[in-house]
Structures are given as structure tokens and as C-alpha cells.
Chain A
Amino acid sequence: MFVAYSGDYGETVARFVDECLWQHKFRPRIALPDTHGEIPIDDEEIILQEESQCKIVLALITERAVESPEFKKEVRMAHRPFRIPVIVLRQGKSRSMLIVQEDPRIKFSKGRHASMCPEILRWIRKILARSDQSEAVPLTGHLQRRTRT
């Protein structure tokens, strides 16, 4: 799970998300010192390589995040060449051209991010469960019905 963030408050939320994922047995990857998922080398290409090997990107859209070119690149790379599902964690009414309408969104208010963990986990589990459900079968066969996730 790659955590993309920017700005001072973004860093605070990123540390919380890192802890939430770690506590629930997911492996975070995050370009932030002293986190469970710390990527130790501060090099853009190394960070993007780490991101490319993740299954989900959590994009923290906080007030200042959209100003960071590194953050923009991490989210755009997930959407396009890496084709990794993005879950948006959006502070208040922060606006961003990075938000794609079909990405799941979790809204939170400044200072109230601590209640988000269950919802983050719910979306992650849902997306992971869905991801390998699509199958190719001959026209004479039947697609198996999947249970609700």
C-alpha cells in the first residue's frame, strides 16, 4: 500500500495512515522518515519504483498537497502507467484535478482524521477482493457469480 501525501498536515495524516495499515497487517510504503513503511532513499525514481510494486495507492488530498509536483506525479503514475487503484482521502472541500470521479473517496475534516481507519480498511479489502474476480471463459461457459464482498 503506497501512501502519497504532501504538505505539513498531509504528513500528519500520512503517519496516521501508515500506523493504521501497519496495525492491520498491511505493508505500507511511504516516503516519510520514522514510519513503518519508510522508503529510505529520497530519490524520485526509487520512490516511484516502490509505488509501482504496490497494490493500492492512498492519495491524501490535503489543502497543500495539490501544490506538490512529486505528489501529482505519484498519483498520475498510479492512474496511468502503473494502473494501480487509487483511494482518495480528501480533507474538507480540498479541490484537485487529480481526483478521478470513480476513485473511492473518504472525506475528513482537519484534525479529525483519526476516525478514518475502518473505512480505509473497508475500501482496501473491497478493491483487493474485486481485483482478481474477472476471468476469461469460453463463450460456451458461464461466469461464476461472486459473493458480495
Chain B
Amino acid sequence: MIREYDRASIVKEAVPWRRSPIAEGGKFVQIGLRILVGPELFIDSYSTRGEGSYSPEIVGVGHSLGIGEEKYLIDRLRQNVKREIDAKSLTVETLSEAIATFPPSSQVTAFVPIDFYSTLHLALDKRMRIEYSNYRPTLIVGPRKMRVFWSNNYVPFKEVILVSREFGEWVVKPDKDTGDLLTFELRPVQNKPNFTDVTVKTIAVYSILAQKEGLVVRLPS
């Protein structure tokens, strides 16, 4: 679960983040899910048949957590990025105008609808292109570079959202017992002695620090 979550989660790559002291207040949310698992999950012998023998009950849990985090982050950005420009299409001019509203030294991250994948990859204008480093895309517009995170079928959005590193921070409350970023809670289930109620979650908040450091580019869908 933890490995799958680490691979699926992008928030700590997309925005600055830190661990929260236990006493820190704020509008923290719990992002996660609660499932019922059978005894096989806790029996070592179940996992001795090699690499394919993990419990199917936990497959997809880590990915689901990553999706939950991403949906929350995108919701927070949509609610709190107030500066907007309207554009007819995603061109060098549109993106240059947008990025020029940020200071030249700002590190800007772009959340881009996947519908624009071809537009950006097949652009004929040499001033705008996507480059990949270890499968991590960067959008280059003239002299500026922006790390790109695509929307997908699980976290869809229609606008281009640009935020600098100063816009906000992801704050995670670690598990108070283990210090891990994911919290696990196990409870017995009444009338089902063989089953365990498992909650796996992250407790986090995306705090807005400088609202002017964000911009939405609205485009026709």
C-alpha cells in the first residue's frame, strides 16, 4: 500500500511541503479510505508464494489515496486562484502572457488538462515545447520553464492553472505513533471475528500563503 501510494502521489512533487508539528492547528482534512479485509492480509504464509501473492483487497488503495490527494489539491487551487485570463487557444502568446505575470525568478508549476497533450507536443512553434527528464515533463515557453502535471481521467479539470512555489504549501500531520506520512488504523469488526476494519489515510492541508502567486488560464473546451 505504501509503495503504491508513494508512486501514485504527486502533491509533494508538485508543491512545497513539510511535516506539521503535532500541535499545529489549521483546516486539516483526512484523505483516505476505509476497507474491510480478511485474515489473509495478516498471515505471513499467504505471502510466501512469490511476487504475485499479495492480497487483492489492497490493490489500488495507494493509487486511490494519490487520486484523493490530487482531487483535494486541484479543488483548493480552483477555489483560491483568483487571477484569471481568458484565451481562445493555448498558444505561445497565451502562455507567454500568463507566465509574464510572475516574477522572472519564480519557479512556476503548471497543471494542464490532458486534452492539450497533442497541442503542446506537436506545436510547430519552436518557442514552445515539452521536454521530459526521467518521464517528468517540463513546458518551455521562450526563456521560461514550468514543471507540468497533466490532468487525467481520475482527476479531470479544464483550465490551465499556474502557481509559483510561494502560492501555498502542503502540510502533512504524520502518524503520532510511527511518524509515517500515512496513518493506519485497525479495528475489530463486530459479528465478523475474522475481518478487520482498516483505515488508511493522510492528514493534510494545502495552506494558501500568497494568493497573487497563482493564475488560471480559461480556455474553450
Taking CB atoms, residues of chain A closer than 8 Å to B34 are: 143-146
4 closest A-B pairs by CB: A134-B68, A130-B60, A80-B135, A134-B64
- Determine if A134 and B65 form an interchain contact, defined as CB atoms under 8 angstroms apart: yes
Complex Cα–Cα for A19 and B106 (A): 50
B interface footprint on A67-110 (CB within 8 Å = 1, 0 otherwise): 00000000011011111110000000000000011101101000
Taking CB atoms, residues of chain A closer than 8 Å to B154 are: 55, 83, 131-132
A interface footprint on B56-77 (CB within 8 Å = 1, 0 otherwise): 1101111111111101100100
Complex Cα–Cα for A128 and B29 (A): 24
A115 in contact (CB, < 8 A): no
Complex Cα–Cα for A52 and B121 (A): 13
22 pairs across A/B with beta carbons < 8 Å? Answer: A45-B121, A49-B121, A52-B152, A53-B114, A80-B134, A81-B132, A81-B149, A81-B150, A82-B150, A85-B60, A101-B51, A102-B3, A126-B60, A130-B33, A130-B61, A134-B67, A135-B32, A138-B27, A139-B28, A143-B34, A143-B201, A148-B35
B189's nearest neighbour on chain A, judged by CB, is A145
Number of A residues, CB within 8 Å of B: 44
Binding site for B on A (CB under 8 A): 45-46, 48-49, 52-55, 76-77, 79-85, 100-102, 104-105, 107, 123, 126-127, 129-139, 141, 143-148
- Determine if A143 and B199 form an interchain contact, defined as CB atoms under 8 angstroms apart: yes
Number of B residues, CB within 8 Å of A: 54
B31 in contact (CB, < 8 A): yes
Q: How many A-B residue pairs have CB under 8 A?
A: 133
A interface footprint on B30-67 (CB within 8 Å = 1, 0 otherwise): 11111110000000000000011010110111111111
Taking CB atoms, residues of chain A closer than 8 Å to B169 are: none
B118 in contact (CB, < 8 A): yes
B191 in contact (CB, < 8 A): no
- Determine if A82 and B30 form an interchain contact, defined as CB atoms under 8 angstroms apart: no
Taking CB atoms, residues of chain A closer than 8 Å to B57 are: 148
Could you tell me the distance in whole angstroms from the C-beta of B188 to the nearest C-beta in chain A?
A: 13
